[in-house]
Amino acid sequence: MKKIKTSLIVLSILLVAAIITLPLIEYFKKPKLTERKDFAIENIADIDSIFLVNRAGENTLLRKQADGRWTVNNQFNAAPDKIERLLKTMNKLEAKNPVAQTAQQRIVNDLAVSGIKVQAFMKNGDTKTYYVGGQTADEMGTFMYMDGSTIPFVVHIPGFRGYLTPRYSVNPLDWRDKAIFATPIDKLAAVQVTYPDTAQKSFQLVKDAANNFTVKQNGAAAAATKQEFAKLYAAQFNNITFEAYLSGYSKSFVDSLQQAKPKAIVAITRNDGSTATLRVFYKPVTSDTKSLYDDKGNVLVYDSDNYFALIDGSPELITVQDYIFRHVFKSYKDFVKQ
């Protein structure tokens, strides 16, 4: 069974490699008749999805949803700024000049080995396909090849100094939205922060029909809640982000962290009943940690600037920053009006 599974994986990779390589190999068999250089897509609003893949089989599918959001591999929300940059790039592409005849074979070979195949699927069923390679010697252009063309081109965006390859990443993590919580206060029903080691600090903020908040602990409501403070606190959940994905840690490490006691558990409930939960863990000091000592000169055991974190429903380990979460890690007493 393992041999069959391995064979299927190898076959899948070979098929992807063939999909990318064969059209480029066919380039040399074509009569030199067509110079396709219409890389730009005039109406980017008509793009329904974008597929990016390399010869190694790494790929990302970006798809526009009915509500205007874009998703990554039909699972996660895409970062709006990165989608916007890609769409603008695809709209402004311009062929600067054809690759010199003496270099064409080398460039096409490079595209076949390390290029990125880009497919833009339009609402009307049309598809635009081209290949993105590396940068020119002066790093002011990018080698690209249009499916159906006879020669590759140096492509650029007029007025932009640099090359464009990084904008076509095949890594899904590069496209994922870094928002942990993105719920505006008018759609927020409750916030709960639990501190397993300091239960007396744990609290729940619950919004009523009049849009006022009540702070609770263990189900019991405080006699009075600081409304202005509570509303300012709740408003920040419209945009709380993480710093980065931590891909350098093993699955066993992440699994062990899943079972560990967190520093805090932050959960929200929306008006429609849906929820989002983040578990935050102390991050041990390493050689990469910026602050190794506290204000008194004592050696730190844990990173004072960053934490490990896990978003429920997502397998990736992330890091969150203290300068953001110090505003989240409030105490029950902070909300109680004396």
pLDDT bracket for residue 100 (50, 70, 90): very high
Q: In sequence order, what E strands does the chain have?
A: 47-54, 59-64, 70-72, 76-77, 94-98, 116-122, 127-135, 142-146, 153-156, 179-181, 188-194, 203-207, 213-217, 220-221, 240-241, 244-245, 264-270, 275-284, 302-311, 317-321
d(CA 52, CA 58): 8
- For residues 53-76, give the mean pLDDT: 95
- For residues 45-64, give the mean pLDDT: 96
- pLDDT of residue 118 exceeding 80: yes
- For residues 63-73, give the mean pLDDT: 96
* Helix, strand or coil, per DSSP, at residue 116: strand
The full length of the chain comes to 338
Among 23-32, 299-308, 321-330, the minimum mean pLDDT is found in: 23-32
d(CA 266, CA 280): 8
- pLDDT of residue 92 exceeding 60: yes
d(CA 271, CA 5): 45
What predicted TM-score, i.e. pTM, was given to this entire model? 0.77
d(CA 236, CA 188): 11
Of 49, 240, 78, the C-alpha closest to 171 is: 78
Bridge partners (DSSP) of residue 318 are: 245, 309
- pLDDT of residue 53 exceeding 60: yes
Among 61-65, 198-202, 281-285, the minimum mean pLDDT is found in: 281-285
Structural contact between residues 196 and 262, judged by C-beta atoms closer than 8 angstroms? yes
- pLDDT of residue 4 exceeding 50: no
Give the model confidence (pLDDT) of 167-205 as tens digits: 999 999 999 999 999 999 999 999 999 999 999 999 999
d(CA 187, CA 131): 43
d(CA 323, CA 131): 41
- Round the average pLDDT of the chain to a whole number and report it: 89
Structure-block tokens of residue 258? 């899943």
Among 72-81, 140-149, 227-236, 292-301, the minimum mean pLDDT is found in: 292-301
- Where are the domains positioned within the chain? 2-174, 179-335
Structural contact between residues 20 and 147, judged by C-beta atoms closer than 8 angstroms? no
d(CA 13, CA 308): 34
Residue 240 DSSP symbol = E
d(CA 332, CA 226): 11
- pLDDT of residue 5 exceeding 50: no
